[in-house]
Amino acid sequence: MALRRYVAIAAALVALPVLVCAPVQAQSTAKTLVFDVELRPVGSDGYELPGDVTYGQGRLVGTTTWGRRAANVDWMCSHIATDGTGPVSDLVTITRSDGAVLALAVSGWVTDGRLRGTVEIIGGRGAYRGATGTGTVVGRSGEALLSLTVTQGSGRAAPRHGIGC
C-alpha cells in the first residue's frame, strides 16, 4: 500500500509542468561620470635632493561640471620624482553645488609633466553616499580628465588601502 501511494505521488510529480526560469539579472546602478577639471595651485611643500630627485606635497583647487551643475575640486597631491618622472598618490574631493560629494584616491605616474593613473572611489555624501567604483585619470599641469564608473550603494564604502601620515 505504501509503495503504491509512493508511485502515485511520483507519477503526479512527473506529470507537473516544468517551469524554466531565466536567471534574474540585478539592475545595475553603475554610471559613468567624466570630469574635465581646471586646477590652480594654492600651496605646496617641495624638496630637492641631489640627483634631480624632488618630493613633496601640494594642494590644487579648481572647478568642473558634474552633470548640469557646477562643482568644486580640492586635489591634495604627493609625489616623488627623479628627473621629473615618478609616482603620485593623490586624494581628490569633488563637491557638487547641491552638496553631493565624491572622494577619490588617485594612484599614478608622472612622465614629462603628464599624469596617467587609476582612480578608486573612497565614498561619497548626499546622493552619492556609499558610492564605490574605479576609473582613470590623465592630466598635465593645471588640468586633469577623470573618467569614473560609479556604483551607488547604501551605507559606507570601505577603502581598500590605508592612507595616513
- Quick check: 107 and 88 in contact, CB under 8 A? yes
Residue 40 φ/ψ region, left for φ over 0, alpha for ψ in the -120 to 50 degree band, beta for the rest: beta
Q: Which helix (H) or strand (E) holds 14?
A: helix 2-15
CA distance 150 to 120: 10
pLDDT at 164: 52
Burial class (CB in 10 A: 0-12, 13-18, 19+), 66: buried
> What pLDDT is recorded for position 131?
94
Question: Residue 66 is which amino acid?
Answer: W
As a whole number of angstroms, the distance between CA 92 and CA 130 comes to 16
Per-residue pLDDT in tens (0 to 9) along the chain, 165 residues: 443 433 333 333 333 333 333 344 444 478 899 999 999 999 888 999 999 999 999 999 999 999 999 999 999 999 899 988 999 999 999 999 999 999 999 999 999 889 999 999 999 999 999 999 999 999 987 889 888 888 876 545 455 555 555
pLDDT of residue 143: 86
What letter does residue 165 receive in the DSSP assignment? -
pLDDT for the residue numbered 153: 65
Under a CB-based contact definition with an 8 Å cutoff, are residues 54 and 47 in contact?
Answer: yes
Residue 103 bridge partners (DSSP): 93, 123
The CATH code of domain 29-149 reads 2.40.350.10
How far apart CA 153 and CA 87 sit, in angstroms, is 31
DSSP string for residues in 39-84: EEEEEEEEEEETTTEEEEEEEEEEEEEETTEEEEEEEEEEEEEETT
Give me the pLDDT at residue 79, please.
Answer: 86
Q: What is the pTM of this model?
A: 0.75
